[in-house]
Amino acid sequence: MHIVILDGYAANPGDLSWEEMKQLGNCVIYDRTSPAEVLERSRGAEILLTNKTVLNADTINALPNLRYIGVLATGFNIVDTEAAKAREVIVTNIPAYSTDSVAQMVFAHLLNICQQVQHHSEEVRKGRWSNNPDFCFWDTPLIELRGKKMGIVGLGHTGSRTARIAIAFGMEVYAYTSKSSFQLPHEIKKMELDELFSECDVISLHCPLTPDTREIVNASRLSLMKSTAILINTGRGPLVNEQDLADALNEGRIYAAGLDVLNQEPPHADNPLLTARNCYITPHIAWASTAARERLMQIAVENVKAYIEGKTMNVVNK
């Protein structure tokens, strides 16, 4: 069994082990693979594993030995699943491995915005507290979450976990979801999307990226939000029109945004959000805790092992 991992560095930059995967066959691991290198490195492989390396129809059709593509992530838009299906190539993904870590990042951003932890810590390091005439200081609003309204767009694994944390903070939780009101816990109220944006103090995005949800956050929807509202996006970058969000932040039409994902990653230097007022950006790391990456790699092994044994799991192109 010839296994090729095209871009293993993101999931495992060296702190974890590929040993279990290596036990399943002849395993060749590349840290990164450029588009020009994909075809040559993939030749002869029955099993290809990819995180963000694109496998398009031309590549899939040029690999006669290919039988299985394993995406080392939950999202699988980097693979032409229809082309794979036409060739009877199985495509799997890794669902729900980072639920806790992503929900944790939602509140890392939210608490930083509410308490301005990074800012005040930096001011202390500059000596401002040591030279302060009073026992304490703060120079931004300090926001308490209890009683605030949290609006969650998409109530899957991560959205539901985020809701539970919000409830623990004493927040009122509302959700825009395909689930019926009868399917929701009593602490979570269903709400239409525009009402969610207009009524809630915090909006957190957890829906998949589809043609219907692309730029679901745009100038029109941002205009509905309170001037004190906070937007959090740990889902998919293209859910947000970045220029519209930057304009809303710079003009004070919403208070702040915490983002772990952008449209282009890494971002172009002229991305308007990089310099927008009260915009806090982390480099797509919500998924990347050690525990989450250990789960990712374990599920990847289980997916491949199931394929070898003729019992496929987590297939996305049935």
Distances (CA, A) of 109 to 138, 197, 234, 244, 301: 19, 19, 10, 20, 32
Pick the catalytic residue from 37, 122, 144, 265. 265
Name 312's Cβ contacts closer than 8 Å, sequence gap at least 6.
Answer: 90, 92, 303, 306
Pick the catalytic residue from 236, 242, 293, 295. 236
Pick the catalytic residue from 215, 284, 294, 302. 284
Cβ neighbours of 154 (radius 10 Å): 22
Distances (CA, A) of 13 to 10, 30, 88, 298: 6, 11, 32, 16
CA distance 49 to 145: 42
Residue in 284, 252, 282, 275 with CA at minimum distance from that of residue 52: 284
CA distance 122 to 247: 27
Helix then strand count (H, E) for the chain reads 11, 12
Tell me if residue 284 is catalytic.
yes
Could you give the 3-state DSSP secondary structure of residue 150? strand
Q: Are 200 and 173 in contact (CB under 8 A)?
A: no
Residue-by-residue DSSP string for 214-263: TT-B-HHHHTTS-TT-EEEE-S-GGGB-HHHHHHHHHTTSS-EEEES--S
Tell me if residue 236 is catalytic.
yes
**Which sign, positive or negative, has the C-alpha torsion 257, 261, 263, 266?**
positive
CA distance 308 to 68: 10
**Active site residue ranges:** 236, 265, 284
